[in-house]
Amino acid sequence: MTRSIRDRATGNTLATGSEPDVFDFEGNVYFAESAVNTEALVVTDATYTCPYKGTCNWVDIKGGASKVAWVYPDPKPGHEKIRSAYGFYRGQRPATEEVSE
């Protein structure tokens, strides 16, 4: 099964792939960097620090919505699986939608 995240405003695909490049973690969907349309996204300097995963950077849609995804460049031990993977909220969101084919 292929899973994708699309920009609801433009219909552009932000990320697409299947296992093992796409996986669920803590109720969200993560895509390996190779499965992400990095031309459509920008990793920002804005951060969030999770007490057990570490610090992530927020990801915006270029010229569009902000904080649609996040990426942990150096997660804490035990969370290496999410290193450099782009996390997106699952399902329908104001700026994005998850599609399975």
Cα–Cα distance, 28 to 68 (Å, whole number) = 12
Range of 95's domain? 3-100
Question: What CATH number has the domain bearing residue 31?
Answer: 2.170.150.40
pLDDT in tens, 17-54: 999 999 999 999 999 999 999 999 999 999 999 999 99
Nearest C-alpha neighbor of 69 from the set 49, 32, 91, 41: 41
pTM for this model (two decimals): 0.95
pLDDT in tens, 61-92: 999 999 999 999 999 999 999 999 999 999 99
pLDDT band at residue 101 using 50, 70 and 90 as cut-offs: confident
Number of structural domains found in the chain: 1
Cα–Cα distance, 25 to 79 (Å, whole number) = 10
Nearest C-alpha neighbor of 89 from the set 9, 11, 6, 21: 6
Nearest C-alpha neighbor of 70 from the set 51, 52, 50: 50
